Structure 1
Amino acid sequence: MSASALRARSIHSTTSFVFPARSPTVGLTCASAILTTQLSLLGRLYHLEGLSYFERLRALSRERQTLLCVGLDPDPDRIEGGVAGALRHCRAVVRATEEHVCCFKPNSAFWEQYGPDGWKALLELRDEAPATPFLLDAKRGDMDNTMRAYARAVFDTLGMDAATVNPYLGRDSVEQFSAYADRGVYVLCRTSNPGAADLQHLEAEGTPIYRHVVDLAERLNGRGNVGLVIGATAPAQVAEVRKVTGLPFLLPGVGAQGGDVEASVRAAWNGDPASCLVSASRSVLFARDPAAEAAALKAQINAASGVRA
């Protein structure tokens, strides 16, 4: 049985969960407790088959012949109807594009902005595609005990398969996430934004900060579940980092940010299906035809990597 079929069977053979409606007869504390319990139980159900995130990612990448990840970042300036509209729009995109992707990547901020209903909507969206890994782009970074709470929220409560983290606070911070052996952790290395070079290119002991992050990630990878975030807007750095590590790369910045798909994919790809996860958000999410946009981007990525389409 394929990894995706096994994963789907694990989910759909379980009891359905109903989120508590707001009601004057149910106290807020009670409703919150019920919701938290249901979310936590639902989160665990996504991982019953015992495969790690990167194992699922590799299996699905081979099965669907894709390295594409689609971001699910609803913008209230572009999607009407509040959280219900956001869920409706993103659910339609998931249904339209799932066959072309090996991962979905919701950014936590775009769901947090809707308050508690945003978290509930994210879990409903996650249940739309139980066979496909969800990577929460949260960029968490804090003291170790705080990171432990963040990790519980992301992995235990929300049931996400992977997450992005900020390495600025060092090893004891990031390892609260990497301790979850079956989940993936992508460490920010060289990001895709215009200001990335302000700090990440500064040198310490003659080496750019982003290269020190690579060393940190290697030390944290004892469980084989750590990767790096390197923007497709910086193909030279993608190539430089690939020369010194075999860790999986998450390549954001494709599409609206103008990242160089061909150069970045060729630099990142090393034959491992997990080596080069290419993420596009707005260019697919707000496309007139998300399925066609995802299919075209998938083909472009496959052509650059040599993956059979």
Structure 2
Amino acid sequence: MSHFIQTLNDAWQRTNSLLCVGLDPEPSKFPGALAGRPDAIFDFCRAIVDASAPYASSFKPQIAYFAAHRAEDQLEQLIAHIHANHPGLPVILDAKRGDIGSTAEQYAREAFERYKADAVTVNPYMGFDSIQPYLEHEGKGVIVLCRTSNPGGSDLQFLETGGRPLYQVVAQLAADKWNASGQLALVVGATFPKEIDVVRGIVGDMPLLIPGIGAQGGDVEATVNAGRTANGTGMLINSSRAIIYAGKGDDFAQAAAKAAMDTRDRINAFR
């Protein structure tokens, strides 16, 4: 049984990359050569994965982009392709699930048994019993929303409770009480580097999934300085649209590869 945190640490060291490539396929943005093909979403994502894998340490497919087009079977194919052809690069299913009891158990089965993801993103708003069913899947990662990259995240995440903003309380709970499996990580957006620094101080070396450096405009230098651990790792720095839509023509995969390489190198310049 491979464990998410160990697989992630191994990937960081082996690839010398902290880049997580997000896979948010939107068929209206695909090049003409893929138009009308029944497996266009899989074909597009497979090409992106194969081209960018040399520069990445993980991949993050967003389930909504597949489900909205009735392409869940293509998502299964894609994750199987990554495991078979790029072993050791963990796959994070970005689902942001958040429910309790038997419903959470079914969501956990969906992520880990159906899709065979190595980790899944979850929403902690309903408390620990909405997270616990995911922890019961041995070795699987559970990545908890903490300080998200969207502006509206402050509506709730900065509400004060017990003298601290709510996102800090979530970070503390994740570090102290919720990490029963030892496979927990947190989502903290690159658009808020000061908060990344605060969360890092609370959770120690716990991995941070950091969206927001590409199309959302997060600062790479500030992100790396705030979030890196003592050995220069500890972060899955995600870029989606800036990589997968770097090119609009039939050479889209080569353009994605260059964008991934450039992003990896920008991140490494500050490690």
Q: Given the two structures, how large is their TM-score scaled by the length of structure 1?
A: 0.79
Quick one: which amino acid aligns to residue 177 of structure 1?
A: Y
Contact 1:252 1:278 in 2 (8 A): yes
8 Å CA contact 2:46–2:81 kept in 1: the answer is yes
Tell me the amino acid that sits aligned with residue 126 of structure 1: I
Q: RMSD between aligned alpha carbons?
A: 1.3
Residue number in structure 2 paired with 1:24: none
Structure 2 contact 76–114 (Cα < 8 Å) conserved: no
Q: CA deviation at 1:272?
A: 5.1
In the alignment, residue 122 of structure 1 is paired with which amino acid? L
Matched, 1:127 2:86: no
- Find the counterpart in structure 2 of residue 64 from structure 1: 15
SS in structure 1 at match of 2:105: helix
Match of 1:298 among 261, 264, 270: 264
CA distance in 2, matches of 1:129, 1:109: 19
- 1:215-226 map, 5 Å: 215-218=172-175, 219-226=177-184
In structure 2, what residue type is equivalent to 1:229?
A: V
Percentage of matched positions with identical amino acids: 40
Partner residue of 1:154 out of 83, 89, 111 = 111
Distance in 2 (alpha carbons) for counterparts of 1:83 and 1:285: 20
Against the structure 1 CA distance between its residues 240 and 267, is the aligned structure 2 distance closer, same or farther, given a 3 Å change threshold? same
Tell me if the contact between 1:58 and 1:273 (Cα under 8 Å) persists in the aligned partners.
no
- Between structure 1 and structure 2, the one with the greater Rg is 1
- Find the partner of 1:90 among 45, 48, 51: 45
Contact 1:171 1:216 in 2 (8 A): no
SS in 2 for 1:185: strand
Unaligned segments of structure 1, at least 5 residues:
1-49
Partner of 2:250: none
User: So what's the TM-score if we normalise by structure 2?
Assistant: 0.90
Residue type of the alignment partner of 2:207: P
Asked if 1:267 corresponds to 2:233, the answer is: no
In structure 2, what residue type is equivalent to 1:110?
Answer: Y
In structure 2, stretches of 5+ residues that fail to align are 248-254
**Are the counterparts in 2 of residues 230 and 252 from structure 1 also a CA contact under 8 Å?**
yes
Number of equivalent positions: 254
Query: Any idea what SS the aligned residue of 1:168 has?
Result: helix
**Change beyond 3 A, Cα 1:184–1:255:** same
Following superposition, the deviation at residue 92 of structure 1 comes to 0.7
Q: CA deviation at 1:159?
A: 0.5
Question: Matches of 2:150 and 2:102 in 1, distance apart?
Answer: 29
Distance 2:231 2:237 in 1: 13
CA distance in 1, matches of 2:261, 2:172: 35
Match 1:239 to one of 194, 197, 201? 197
Which of 188, 199, 220 is residue 230 of structure 1 equivalent to?
Answer: 188
Q: Cα offset for 1:217?
A: 1.0
CA distance in 1, matches of 2:43, 2:148: 30
